[in-house]
Amino acid sequence: MNLQHHKNIITENGFTVINNIFSDEEIEKISEIIQNIDTSKETFRKSEDLFAIRQFLKEIPEIKGVVFNENLKTIIKEIFGDKYFVVKSIYFDKPEKSNWYVAYHQDLTISVDKKLELENFGPWTTKQNQFAVQPPLSILENIFTIRIHLDETDENNGALKVVPTSHAKGIYRPETIDWTVETETICNVEKGGIMIMKPLLLHGSNRTINGKKRRVIHIEFSDLELPEELNWSERLSY
């Protein structure tokens, strides 16, 4: 793995794909742990189109040791730096017959432990007892997201489509995308591979049309502390 090369690509384009990070055995173990959990909690969301677990690493602490294998730890250290920690984790399962699609957007909010009146923080939302807020741009620009793919993913089962370099343009409203200058890239990822992206990268996904599932573990990292009494709601060392 030439990690310096991937680091440069992320800086330039806002994303990169690195395959062969997890073995089939490791993916099997992760799948097994997920299958055996109690899904009645309110952090779990279940519908025909989507099954999601918020605060994934908090809800299933025993999965942490398998998710953070030596390959992933090396990638985090070499590409992000050794002071980064987890600030958010979600598990998405897009079933075989899913009609779920996601329009182009940026990830503009962070999950925090309480609501405070702070300059440059807002708007606020609350979902399932979870506070989320749009922080200053500098905090968003500092975050890296890793998406671990438990299934092979391409344009036929909801692989992410992205607008390269859009992460470097601040808040970028999707309705203002100028397709005469921007391009779209589909991020195919092999089973056991990862995609790393910056949250300000414009991204979306299409409906599944090939009858194959798409399971992804989404983990966000930062090395910044939040101001005053505000804390990351999911702060975890790995």
The pLDDT, as a whole number, for residue 109 is 97
Biggest CA–CA distance in the chain, Å, is: 49
The pLDDT, as a whole number, for residue 128 is 72
Question: Would strands 214-222 and 85-94 be described as parallel, antiparallel, or unpaired?
Answer: antiparallel
Asked, as a colleague might, if the bond just before 123 is cis with ω within 30 of 0, I would say yes
The pLDDT, as a whole number, for residue 96 is 73
Half-sphere exposure of residue 138: CA atoms within 13 angstroms, side-chain side: 7
Dihedral angle sign, alpha carbons of residues 186, 206, 163, 27: negative
Q: What whole-number distance in Å separates Cα of residue 143 and Cα of residue 136?
A: 12
Which domains occur in the chain, in start order?
3-222 (2.60.120.620)
> Side chain identity at 111, as an amino acid letter?
S
Q: Name the stretches of the chain with pLDDT < 70.
A: 43, 47-50
Contact 168, 139 (CB under 8 A): no
Question: What one-character-per-residue DSSP string does the chain give?
Answer: --HHHHHHHHHHHSEEEE---S-HHHHHHHHHHHHTS-TTSTTEEE-SS-EEEETHHHH-GGGHHHHS-HHHHHHIIIII-TT-EEEEEEEEEE-TT----EEEE----EEESS----TT---EEEETTEEEE---HHHHHH-EEEEEESS-B-TTBT-EEE-TTGGGSSS--GGG--TTT---EE--B-TT-EEEE-TTS-EEEPPB-SS--EEEEEEEEE--PPSTT--BTT-B--
> Side chain identity at 15, as an amino acid letter?
F
The pLDDT, as a whole number, for residue 49 is 63
